[in-house]
Structure 1
Amino acid sequence: MKDTDPPLTPQLLLQAYRVGVFPMSEGRNDPEVFWVDPKRRGIFPLDGFHISRSLARTMRRTKFTVSFDRAFRDVMQNCADRDETWINDTIIDLYAALFQSGHAHSIEIWDGEKMVGGVYGVSIGGAFFGESMFSKATDASKIALAYLIDRLRSGGYQLFDTQFLTPHLASLGAVEIPRRVFQEKLAAALDTAAYFNAAGRHIPHAQDVIQRSAQIS
Structure 2
Amino acid sequence: MARRRSAADSSQAGQRASRFPDPRLADPDGLVAVGGRLEPDWLLDAYRHGIFPWPTGEDDPLLWWSPDPRALMPLDGFYRSARLRRRMRSGRFTVTFDEDFAGVMRACGTAPGREDGTWITRAMLKAYTQLHRQGHAHSVEVWLGEGETRRLVGGVYGVAIGGLFAAESMFHYETDASKVALATLVDRLNERGYVLLDIQQWTAHTGSLGAVEVSRDDYLARVTVAVDLPVTWCV
**Same fold, TM exceeding 0.5?**
yes
| Aligned residue among 32, 36, 40 for 1:10 | 40
TM normalised by structure 1 equals 0.86
Once the 2 structures are TM-superposed, how far is the Cα of residue 7 of structure 1 from its aligned partner?
Answer: 3.1
SS at 1:117 equivalent? strand
**In the alignment, what sits opposite 1:98?**
131
Matched, 1:162 2:195: no
**Structure 1 unmatched ranges of 5 or more:** 199-217
- Cα deviation, residue 44, structure 1: 0.7
> What RMSD, in angstroms, separates the aligned Cα atoms of the two structures?
1.5
* Correspondence 1:36 to 2:65: yes
- Partner amino acid, structure 1, of 2:41: Q
CA contact (8 A) 1:31 1:90 kept: no
Q: 1:210 corresponds to which residue? A: none
Amino acid at match of 1:17: Y
Q: How far did 1:31 drift?
A: 5.0
Question: In the alignment, is the contact (CA less than 8 A) between 2:166 and 2:198 conserved in 1?
Answer: yes
Residues 108 and 119 in structure 1, CA contact (< 8 A), matched pair in contact too: yes
Quote the residue 2:186 is aligned against: 149
What per-residue deviation string (whole Å, max 9, x for no partner) do you get for residues 114-167 of structure 1? 000000000001000000000000000000001100000001101000000111
Q: Are positions 1:47 and 2:76 aligned together?
A: yes
Paired residues, what number?
A: 196
Return 5+ residue gaps in structure 2 as ranges. Answer: 3-33
| Distance in 2 separating the partners of 1:163 and 1:135 | 19
Q: How does 1:1-217 map to 2 (within 5 A)?
A: 5-27=35-57, 29-81=58-110, 82-85=114-117, 86-112=119-145, 113-198=150-235
Q: Give the whole-Å Cα distance in 2 for the aligned partners of 1:109 and 1:8.
A: 28
Structure of greater Rg: 2
Query: How big is the shift at 1:24?
Result: 0.9
Q: Is the 8 A contact 1:65 1:109 kept in 2?
A: yes
Secondary structure of residue in 1 paired with 2:143: strand
In structure 2, what is the Cα distance between the partners aligned to 1:70 and 1:164? 27
Q: Which has the higher contact order (CA 8 A, sep 6+)?
A: 1
Identity of aligned residues (%): 46
Q: Is the CA contact 1:72–1:120 (under 8 Å) kept in the aligned structure 2?
A: yes
Q: 1:119–1:145: 8 Å Cα contact kept in structure 2?
A: yes
Q: Normalised by the size of structure 2, how large is the TM-score? A: 0.80
**Greater percentage in helix:** 1
Using the alignment, how far apart are the partners of 1:30 and 1:51 within structure 2? 40
